[in-house]
């Protein structure tokens, strides 16, 4: 875990998890492009939560890949939660924001008692991924319909299974969105920030997201419409 901001009286924390590869036992490169891609998200979150007692951090992986049953990124996410407790001295509610492999790692770690919810961005959701541990968690899956790296259909399938397992789930489709989240990047950054602050109770959730979490089911909502206030 790398802390970007700590607080003398923390009330919550947000950890950001970047993407990676399916396989890769070596450490991420010095110029870590997946990590750099998440910096605008961290900056937006920092601005939106300034003075609100929210600790901000990032997960630094030991390996660049998930590496099959080793689930290295998932294990690192869980380790980061333990490190957060050690730094703060007591547990606080945590939101996890993960992209691609980082989305998978965030969902993997969401069964931890500290985790209030997950915002998963273009997450890697293989068929058969466990979901029982997501019961009682708030999950928002945001995926572009032009993603050619991870499949939006896999996100929607996991959303349905997680909902059946007792999670509160909202699925959002980004029209024209690519895996790197570069098309309409401002919407990705702004909507993610609104989701995190809303799920932490620091601001109102977009109405469509609140309704989705409560009602569940149905087709994924249009993320641009949600971002515009619909």
Q: How confident is the model at residue 31 (pLDDT cuts 50, 70, 90)?
A: confident
**What pLDDT, on a 0 to 100 scale, did the predictor assign at position 100?**
98
Q: Is 16 exposed, middle or buried (0-12, 13-18, 19+ CB in 10 A)?
A: buried
pTM comes to 0.97
pLDDT > 70: percent of the chain: 100
**pLDDT > 90? residue 171:** yes
**What pLDDT, on a 0 to 100 scale, did the predictor assign at position 230?**
60
DSSP characters for 45-107?
Answer: HHHHTTTTTEEEEEPPPSSSB--GGG-HHHHHHHHHHHHHHHHHSS---EEEEEETHHHHHHH
User: What would you measure as the largest C-alpha separation in the chain, in angstroms?
Assistant: 44
Residue in the block written with tokens 């490190």: 83
In contact, 160 and 203? CB cutoff 8 Å: no
**What pLDDT, on a 0 to 100 scale, did the predictor assign at position 93?**
96
What value does the mean pLDDT of the chain take? 96
**What pLDDT, on a 0 to 100 scale, did the predictor assign at position 216?**
73
Q: How confident is the model at residue 47 (pLDDT cuts 50, 70, 90)?
A: very high
C-alpha to C-alpha distance for 30 and 172, rounded to whole angstroms: 33
**pLDDT > 70? residue 114:** yes
**What pLDDT, on a 0 to 100 scale, did the predictor assign at position 151?**
98
In contact, 149 and 100? CB cutoff 8 Å: yes
H-helix or E-strand containing 42? Answer: helix 39-48
Instruction: List CB contacts of 47: < 8 A, sequence separation 6 or more.
Output: none
C-alpha to C-alpha distance for 5 and 2, rounded to whole angstroms: 9
**What pLDDT, on a 0 to 100 scale, did the predictor assign at position 126?**
97
Question: What pLDDT digit, counting tens, does each position of 75-107 carry?
Answer: 999 999 999 999 999 899 999 999 999 999 999
């Amino acid at each position: 875990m790398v802390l970007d901001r700590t607080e003398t009286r923390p009330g919550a924390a947000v950890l950001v998890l970047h993407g990676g590869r399916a396989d890769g036992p070596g450490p991420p490169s010095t110029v870590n492009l997946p990590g750099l891609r998440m910096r605008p998200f961290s900056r937006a979150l920092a601005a939106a939560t300034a003075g609100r007692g929210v600790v901000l951090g990032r997960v630094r992986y030991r390996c660049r890949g998930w590496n099959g049953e080793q689930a290295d990124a998932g294990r690192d996410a869980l380790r980061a939660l333990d490190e957060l407790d050690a730094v703060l001295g007591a547990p606080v509610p945590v939101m996890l924001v993960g992209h691609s492999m980082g989305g998978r790692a965030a969902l993997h770690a969401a069964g931890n008692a500290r985790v209030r919810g997950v915002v998963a961005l273009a997450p890697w959701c293989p068929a058969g991924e466990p979901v029982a541990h997501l019961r009682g968690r708030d999950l928002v899956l945001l995926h572009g319909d032009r993603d050619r790296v991870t499949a939006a259909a896999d996100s929607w399938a996991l959303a349905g299974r997680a909902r059946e397992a007792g999670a509160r789930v909202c699925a959002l489709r980004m029209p024209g969105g690519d895996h790197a989240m570069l098309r309409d990047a401002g919407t990705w950054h702004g909507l993610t920030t609104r989701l995190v602050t809303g799920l932490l109770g620091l601001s109102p959730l977009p109405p469509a997201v609140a309704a989705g979490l409560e009602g569940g089911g149905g087709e994924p909502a249009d993320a641009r419409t949600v971002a515009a206030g619909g």
